[in-house]
Amino acid sequence: MIRMEARSLQGAVRPAAVAGHFYPADAGLLRTVVEGLLSDFAEAEPPARPPKALIVPHAGYVYSGAVAARAYNRLRGANGIRRVVLVGPAHRVGFYGIAAPEAAWFETPLGRVPVDQPAVEQACELSSVFRYDAAHAPEHCLEVQLPFLQRTLSEDFTLVPLVVGGATTNDMARTLEAVWGGPETLVVISSDLSHHLDYDAARIVDERTSRAIETLDEEGIEAGMACGRVPIQGLLRLARQRGLAAERLDLRCSGDTAGPRDRVVGYGAYAFGD
């Protein structure tokens, strides 16, 4: 595990790392796939107000795209969201703390999204947050959310992308508090649920996790219940403090969406609002 110091901005683009693997690399096909997933799970009427926060899964679209679409449909017709705080766990690079990018843009086949540099600088004032592009370069958990955001948000938006390594719930809650903003800011926590259990065991564990999320019980999210446990816990703490309510939108696993029921991965979608 390594702890890097802050580095100067390079103004670079963080290119797509998992296009063609987790989702289509062709822009036209990607647009069709995302819009198809959204239309399959569209609500009859859009919500009166968009959510303040979402929890969404981050596997390949064939596995978790339908569950993610349930959450992103809550943004349908939303106006006024101009910044997205996007947080997920590190899968490929080990480090202590919370990594913000040096890059100025994040790119997908659908285009580039600018990083909100003032918000990142504000987060980096905390001792646990620092700029570290190496954590972002191979990471899929944030990237797979971007095409959904690019197709659902009605306005151009900026991004506050944060990859979480060896951090505590306190670190996460303080970081989210620093960039929480108002109605112009949406918080998206990218996390899958249980990993590599058999189907029946996964359903039991994921139901426990879901109840903890729905009741804003941060201590109920135990190790092994979600890869994004610390980001979820930080969100639950702030949601409780700010009087938000959590709503379960979907709860399934890879055994429901894409195949065999041994060693499945759990997926949940949740919305938080007043």
pLDDT tens-place string over residues 92-102: 999 999 999 99
171: in domain: no
| Residue 39 vs residues 31, 32, 121, 151, 154: alpha-carbon distances, Å | 12, 10, 37, 12, 16
- CA distance linking residue 100 with residue 136, whole number of Å: 8
Q: Quote the number of domains for the chain.
A: 1
Range of the domain at 98: 17-162+191-225+237-259
Q: How many CB atoms lie within 10 A of CB 164?
A: 28
Assess if residue 77 is contained within a domain: yes
For the entire predicted model, the pTM comes to 0.94
Q: Is 181 domain-assigned?
A: no
pLDDT over 60 at 1, yes or no: no
Q: Which of 197, 192, 187, 140 is nearest to 163 (CA)?
A: 140
269 found inside a domain:
no
Q: How confident is the model at residue 11 (pLDDT cuts 50, 70, 90)?
A: low
Amino acid at 137: A
Quick check: 9 pLDDT over 70? Answer: no
Answer yes or no: is pLDDT of 49 > 90: no
Structure tokens at 188: 């998206």
| pLDDT tens, position by position, 179-195 | 999 999 999 999 999 99
10 confidence band (pLDDT: 50, 70, 90): very low
Q: Is residue 102 part of a domain?
A: yes
Q: What is the CATH number of the domain that holds 115?
A: 3.40.830.10
* Residue 7 located in a structural domain: no
CA atoms within 13 A on the CB side of 128: 19
Q: Are strands 53-56 and 185-190 parallel, antiparallel or unpaired?
A: parallel
75 backbone dihedrals φ, ψ, rounded to 5°: -95, -5
pLDDT of residue 224: 93
Q: Is the pLDDT of residue 108 over 70?
A: yes
Question: What's the rounded mean pLDDT across residues 195-211?
Answer: 97
**Strand residues in the chain grouped as ranges (E):** 13-14, 53-56, 83-89, 98-100, 105-108, 111-114, 129-131, 158-164, 185-190, 195-197, 245-253, 264-273
φ, ψ of residue 34 in degrees (nearest 5): -65, -45
Buried b (16+ CB within 10 A) or exposed e, 98-134: bbbbbbbbbbbbbebbebbeebbeebbeeebbbbbbb
Q: Average pLDDT of the chain?
A: 93
Burial 219-257 (b: 16+ CB within 10 A, else e): ebbeeebbbbbbbbbbbbbbbeeeebebeebbbbbbbbb
Residue 179 lies in a domain: no
Query: What pLDDT digit, counting tens, does each position of 114-154 carry?
Result: 999 999 999 999 999 999 999 999 999 999 999 999 999 97
Would you say residue 35 lies in a domain? yes
